[in-house]
A and B are shown apart, each in its own frame.
Chain A
Amino acid sequence: MSLLYDEGQQAIATESRRVLEARVQTDQLLPLLERQGEFHRPFWDTAREQGWTALALPEAYGGLELGLVELGLIALQAGRSLSGAPFLTSSFGAARAILDFGDDALRGHWLPLLARGEAIGAIAFAEGQSPLPANPTVKFSGGKLLGVKDAVSAALHADVAVVLAMNDSGPVLAIASLKDVERIGFNTFDNSRCIADLAFNGAPATVIAQGDAALDAAQHILALQAVITAHEQTGGAEVLMERARDYANTRRAFGQTIGSFQSVKHRIAEIYGLVELARAGALHAATREGHADFLKAAAAARIQATEAYDTAARDCVQVHGGIGVTWEAGLHLHMRRARTLAMEQGNMLFWEDVLVNELAGENA
């Protein structure tokens, strides 16, 4: 995998951009903020129709056999256009858990459905404030799950979840159909993420990894998702940098465009720097899958991209002045999304510790 995109990859970037820019408008996304349980259907329909759900899965299961670099490019564009649902990343994470750690029966059942986008996946590792608890409270016993997973993205619509639970001898990673699982939705500042608590009350599940291997597998799934999300965050930051620039080039004050003031132009130049660092870090991580330094690269990418998107959201609104805080301008869509993406799959605090453990040695 190279740090230079080839022609096919460039075509994916161009085509996904064209399609999403044509089909996603701010005025469609704004109402979703005030409706629990809904997502932007045109986005998800587009993802399925374009084969993005199948992109990084093996051909044997209906996939297109591409990888993190290509899915990252789609995510980058989804970030620019504000993805209308979290399913691309959540389903990819679930599919990779099943593919990498599941048996043939699990693969044969779920992967074709996930590849076609007929099933939606979710990742249910977190409990309380911990993105990856070493001793989860959700119990796995007699083939069944018992307990509550907190604030799972995509949970309101997911068909299958990867659940980190505890049995008698330690943590396990299990695949569970969510058919009869209770989903407790609540209002969030970014409702199209379809976040809910998942209350397992004896739902059957299949273990795919146990003990330390379960935690390692969960960590690996988070890292894969983190690379995709880092691309999405980069895209969001990039589009905000462009909006800040465009506004600074047109809005006039004191007889000149506000982009003439260094306090404004330097702020935008700093966002540019963050965007390019995030872009390079994300692509680097995507090319390192399968190498010993993948976790380190994924953590670094995730941290840099989170910083980029949060900062871009903060500063882009600031450059816009009063209009930037209006509902209609929609910049708050990015403020909200910057924060939800920062929290999903482990926040900054989590990834900083992962990275330092990698750099300094686990028992440092």
Chain B
Amino acid sequence: MSDLVAYSEKANAWLESVAAEFGRSARKGLSEAEDLALGRRYLKARFDAGYAGINWPTEYGGQGLTHIEKVAFETEEMKFGMPTAYFGISLGMPVPIMMKFGSDQVFAKERVLKALQGEEIWCQLFSEPAGGSDLAGLRLRAEQDGNGWKLNGQKLWTSWAQYSDYGVIVARTDPTVQKHKGLTYFWVDMKAPGVTVRPIKLAGGDSHVNEVFFDDVKLTDDHRMSPVGGGFAVAMATLMIERYVATDSAGFGPHLDLFISLAKEVEVNGRPAIEDGRIRQAIARNYAMRNGLDAITARAMLMMQAGMEPGAEGSLNKLVSVRSRQRLSEMAIDLQGPGGAHFDEHAPVKENWQTSWINAPTGRIAGGADEMLLNTIAERILGLPQDYRPDKAVPFNQIPA
């Protein structure tokens, strides 16, 4: 048995031992506030058990292992439906960036330890009304204010800002230079005067994203995490940190087995649905595709273990799996006949076709829309030309509206 298999098995055994307290069944019927509180307790337990910050340095409360163990643990953890969503962004990007770029490392270490134990949550204030995919097109201003800075503007789609204690933010410090060059990276106290968080109710009925307003929010210069005008590079570094994450070929929706079970239970035109050619084709095609994704993921793990950089094809998972989840969810609702209209907006998306379906579009947009991923594949992997970019080599304040 390889070390990694042993590691996974041990992790699985621990997860099994706390599943009744924190897992899927324990969360049934909880309000969001109760679920968040349970999540905080789970993070503390995970920290105490030695599964927090797996690939982070031990002096920051981490385990000092590699991203391989991290992905292995996440893959096991995902099976149990633990209440980790509130902390995903926080521990995924802003906190490690704080660890790496925070100017006051004593303060940073304190924050990291609290975040790892679920006591504090960080958000990432990147997207704005004027741009999500086009990050460098952001408009929120940071102006010199004495020795410090003053923030004015709006962020949008900020996950879990309503529960966040801190955030990392990219702001425009110079609108007279090209758009990538006039940005600076800061951290902010989300409880500071002038910060207003308003949850946005999404199509599925829940509100994990927010709009965040900044009105003369004052920062001392030690909040700055990049050179003035050097914020874009740190923003890119933030997005690269999460390169190695556990993936799910079901697109973070229900497993294909659930679709097969459903098809065995119900009938289409008086015959078992599992005998219907259309249903069989959907099962076969989805299985074949997900099987390909799983093989890509397994190969990437082997490459990492062998000290190699995994291939670019790993980027396919998000593109392909969420689309398939979306269509399969539609079909699963069809299979339920008129009764498919039943809706429990709080049902977990990995177990319920209706919530999986209505929340699927978010998965195709957040963190890089499908079209952006296709552009990335075409340009970076295949060497096709960049899109026409009228904003290139133009000062930000002269970009055609």
Contact = CB atoms under 8 A, between A and B. Distances in A.
Interface string A292-318: 000001011101100100000000000
Given A4-B302, A284-B291, 7 more contacts: A259-B384, A262-B371, A276-B311, A277-B293, A280-B299, A280-B313, A364-B264
Q: Is the interface of A mostly helix, strand, loop or mixed?
A: helix
B263 interface: yes
A245 B385 CA distance: 10
A359 B260 contact: yes
Interface in B258-296: 260, 263-264, 272, 274-275, 280-281, 283-285, 287-289, 291-296
Interface of A: 2-4, 241, 245, 248-249, 256-257, 259-260, 262, 265-266, 268-270, 272-273, 276-278, 280-281, 283-284, 297, 299-301, 303-304, 307, 351-353, 355-356, 359-360, 364
B302 A278 contact: no
B374 A265 contact: yes
Interface stretch (B87-95, B182-190, B375-383): B375-383
Contacts of A283: 295, 299
B285 A277 contact: no
Interface of B: 256, 260, 263-264, 272, 274-275, 280-281, 283-285, 287-289, 291-296, 298-299, 302-303, 306, 311, 313, 316, 319-320, 371, 374-375, 377-379, 381-388
Nearest to A297: B291
Contacts of A272: 377, 381-382
B320 to A, nearest CB: 6
A262 to B, nearest CB: 7
A307 to B, nearest CB: 7
Given A4-B303, A281-B288, A269 B264 contact: no
B303 A269 contact: no
Contacts of A2: 302
Contacts of B386: 260
B382 A269 contact: yes
Contact of A266 (B285, B294, B371, B385): B371
B263 A360 contact: yes
A260 B377 CA distance: 13
B287 to A, nearest CB: 6
A167 B304 CA distance: 55
A300 B378 contact: no
B280 A352 contact: yes
A256 B385 contact: yes
22 contacts: A3-B302, A4-B306, A249-B385, A260-B386, A265-B374, A266-B374, A273-B316, A273-B319, A273-B320, A273-B377, A277-B289, A277-B316, A280-B293, A281-B288, A303-B285, A352-B284, A353-B284, A355-B288, A356-B284, A359-B287, A360-B283, A364-B275
B273 to A, nearest CB: 10
A303 B296 contact: no
A352 B281 contact: yes
5 pairs of A and B residues whose beta carbons are closest in the complex: A277-B292, A280-B295, A352-B284, A284-B295, A265-B378
Nearest to A354: B284
Contact of A260 (B274, B316, B387): B387
Given A245-B383, A281-B288, A284-B291, A262 B299 contact: no
Given A256-B385, A356-B284, A281 B299 contact: no
Nearest to A281: B292
Contacts of B274: 356, 360, 364
A353 B288 CA distance: 12
Contacts of A307: 285, 288
Contacts of A269: 374-375, 377-378, 381-382, 384
Nearest to B283: A356
A281 B290 CA distance: 9
A241 B382 CA distance: 9
Contacts of B378: 259, 265-266, 268-269
B260 A360 contact: yes
Nearest to B279: A356
B299 A3 contact: yes
A304 B374 CA distance: 20
Contacts of B381: 269, 272
A262 B371 CA distance: 9
Contact of A259 (B288, B320, B385): B385
B304 to A, nearest CB: 11
Contacts of B303: 4
B382 to A, nearest CB: 5
Contacts of A270: 374
A4 B382 CA distance: 22
Given A260-B388, A277-B320, A364-B264, A3 B298 contact: yes
A360 B289 contact: no
Contacts of B320: 273, 277
A49 to B, nearest CB: 32
A300 B294 CA distance: 12
A355 B382 CA distance: 33
Nearest to B292: A277
B284 A303 contact: yes
Given A265-B374, A268-B382, A360-B263, A281 B291 contact: yes
Contacts of B284: 299, 303, 351-353, 355-356
A84 to B, nearest CB: 29
B349 to A, nearest CB: 22
